[in-house]
Amino acid sequence: MLQDQKDEDFRKKIENNQKLAEERTAKKRAKRLKKKELMKTAGKKQKKTTETTSEQESNSSSDEADSLEEQEKQNSCVPEREKSEDVADK
């Protein structure tokens, strides 16, 4: 009878430990899956922001190139004498 009581207590303890272990595992699994999902969404967001940033940079680069071309055209229209006077003034 005493042995049966000890066996029953032991089985309850084992079952309780297994239940706690499964709960911990489930929590860790949920945390891991959540982290993985966040990484996926963050990766997508980073790609989108990188793409838009690249587009903005390329647009601004082309704008800068256009403005440089315009400046060169304007400078080429100025007679040589005026260019040399501008340099002398500086």
Q: Taking all residues of the chain, what is their mean pLDDT, rounded to a whole number?
A: 76
Distance, in Å, from the CA atom of 82 to the CA atom of 90, rounded to the nearest integer, reads: 13
Structural domain range at position 16: 2-89
Average pLDDT over residues 13-18: 97
DSSP state of 78: S
Q: How many domains does the chain have?
A: 1
Tens-digit pLDDT profile for residues 67-81: 666 666 666 655 555
Distance, in Å, from the CA atom of 30 to the CA atom of 60, rounded to the nearest integer, reads: 44
pLDDT value of position 24: 96
Average pLDDT over residues 10-23: 97
Tens-digit pLDDT profile for residues 26-61: 999 999 999 999 988 887 776 666 666 655 555 555
Distance, in Å, from the CA atom of 65 to the CA atom of 50, rounded to the nearest integer, reads: 22
pTM of the predicted protein model: 0.41
Give me the residue label for tokens 């500086």.
Answer: 90
Give me the residue label for tokens 């066996």.
Answer: 7
In contact, 73 and 81? CB cutoff 8 Å = no
